[in-house]
Amino acid sequence: MKSVAASLLFVLLAGMSFLLGIHAQDRDQGRSMVVSRGGIVSAESPLAAQAGATILAHGGNAIDAAVATNAVMGVVAPMMNGIGGDLFAIVYDAKTGKLYGINASGWSPAGLTIDFLKSHGITAMPQSGINSVTVPGAVDGWAKLLDRFGRKKFAEVLAPAIHYAREGFPVPERTAENWVVDSPSFAADANFSKTYIPGGHSPRLGEVFRNADLANSLEKIAAGGRDAYYEGPIGRAIVETSRSLGGTMNLDDLAAYSSEWVEPISTTYRDWTVYEIPPNGQGIAALEMLNLMERFPVAQFGSLSADALHVMIESKKLAYADLLRYVGDPKYSAIPVAQMLSKEYAKNRAAQIDMKRANCNVAAGTLPAGGDTTYLTVVDSEGNMVSLIQSNYSGFGSGVVAGGAGFVLQNRGGLFSLDPASPNALAGHKRPLHTIIPGFMTRGDERIAFGIMGGFNQAQAHAQFVSDIADGGMNIQAALETPRFTKYTFSGCDVDMEHRVPQAVRDDLTSRGHLITEWLGFSSHFGGGQAVLRDFKNKINFGASDPRKDGEAIPEPPPAKP
């Protein structure tokens, strides 16, 4: 009898254990966070993240790893980013506890003006071709980051990117999809086709792609630094290509360019402080959105409730109307940053939100006096952190490839306005209103570096991510996976929403006047994010990566034993 009773007890306990196991795994997120005492690199490509993690294992810090990761991203996802694009970053220095921002967005050529375009019969800002090209800022940004904070030289951090460019890499799923969608528009250009459509077709999933010209350009930068790009053979190739296409860029435009260290701007949301890069970027819209959302009990509403989403969508419309009205290059017009981030202004602006009806015609507020992209983030074992975003703007940017250089030039100039009264009006050596933004947030001993790419999706996605953590109590992986909405337009009641938002919630929003377009699955239409968190009290790092991209959060491997 004792053996029978023991057997029954064993079965009962095993069953309870099984049930408890099911309960422990009952969650909405699809993957776990990466947890490590060592560094972590989160990027849109496992190859890129691995390159950064290896740099950490070889004595580099978060800044070295970020540059190495970004350089590989430019090789393996060339439609998204590369040395023909711009860069922004926020750096957290663990020793001082200070944040540093860098704005490595390029300016327009001196000769690219409204009058120049009009003299050629152009009445709207070109979205591709040579007249959409601005000076690429990424390489100068890399140089300044390494000079100020890095431990490694260009030769070491660029070595993985040079390897993948010369030896090749198998093209992953989403990158293959983007390649086949983005490349046909530029197939008629000989330089572009030679570089990105070898053999007459876009590289397919698993097909090995090589770019010897890009490997040569990266080797020049590894040997000669930023001057090899802006004052050397790479710059000359850019200028010669521009001249052949009737563009205005010259060597002085490149040589005179310098990225800038800037002070991050911030606001508080609940018990978190959230930081963004100041204008000319759109980060200020994310902060204004949060100020507006803070006027409502979003946590009580519930993260995916109709009330919470209605507040966020309406806040987006108000903040983006102000973004379009007031933001440009601060060197050319005064940007009312303090007024836009005022809590009192948010109080007055939030009063315009009607909880029962969507506003389809939102105007900018009266202030008181006073694409495609890649995002990556790194934390090292000491707690240094980098939030970095880099982009060509649209897929394959302008479509212009500098002869023999192996990379496409960005079309960031397409964001300028040809309205002389706009703060974002085109002018020589001016930076346009910029979409790419790195984010950072702090609370007590916690620091989170995060970003979610995707053109004008970014500020609204940042606000949703922050709310998921601050209001929803989610961890960073769950916050990246949560269904999102996005609205790329600046007017109207249209809004895109992932179908994972419950049908009843979408029906409720529709009854309030929102015109919802449903998107299936984890759609890259809603951007792709990465995040790392540092718990300074316990000296533990956490990493997360968005399933909407090919990426991964990869921990630093242990040092190799001799």
pLDDT at 23: 47
Percentage of the chain with pLDDT > 70?
94
pLDDT at 24: 46
Mean pLDDT of 295-304: 94
Domains belonging to the chain, first-starting first, are 74-261+377-415 (no CATH), 279-372+436-471+483-537 (1.10.246.130)
Express each pLDDT in 35-51 by its tens digit. 999 999 999 999 999 99
Mean pLDDT of 283-302: 96
Nearest to 341 by CA among 376, 381, 291: 291
pLDDT at 227: 96
Mean pLDDT of 199-218: 95
**CA-CA distance, 155 to 64, in Å (whole number)?**
11
For the cut 90, the answer to whether the pLDDT of residue 130 exceeds it is: yes
Q: What's the per-residue H, E or C state across 467-509?
A: HHHHCCCCCHHHHHHCCCEECCCCCCCEEEEECCCCHHHHHHH
pLDDT at 26: 65
Give me the chain's average pLDDT, please.
92
Which residue has tokens 């309030």? 512
| Sheet strands (E) in 115-264 | 169-170, 208-209, 260-262
Express each pLDDT in 357-411 by its tens digit. 999 998 887 665 445 678 999 999 999 999 999 999 989 999 999 999 999 999 9
Name the residues annotated as catalytic: 373
Express each pLDDT in 90-126 by its tens digit. 999 999 999 999 999 999 999 999 999 999 999 999 9
pTM for this structure? 0.92
Strand 540-545 with 485-486, pairing? unpaired
pLDDT at 368: 55
For the cut 50, the answer to whether the pLDDT of residue 5 exceeds it is: no
Which residue has tokens 């071709």? 129
For the cut 70, the answer to whether the pLDDT of residue 17 exceeds it is: no
Mean pLDDT of 421-444: 94
Percentage of the chain with pLDDT > 90?
83
Mean pLDDT of 338-346: 93
Positive or negative, the CA dihedral 31, 544, 82, 282 is: positive
Q: Model confidence at 18, in pLDDT bands (50, 70, 90)?
A: very low
| CB-based burial, 433-459: b 16+ in 10 Å, e otherwise | bbbbbbbbbbbeeebbbbbbbbbbbbb
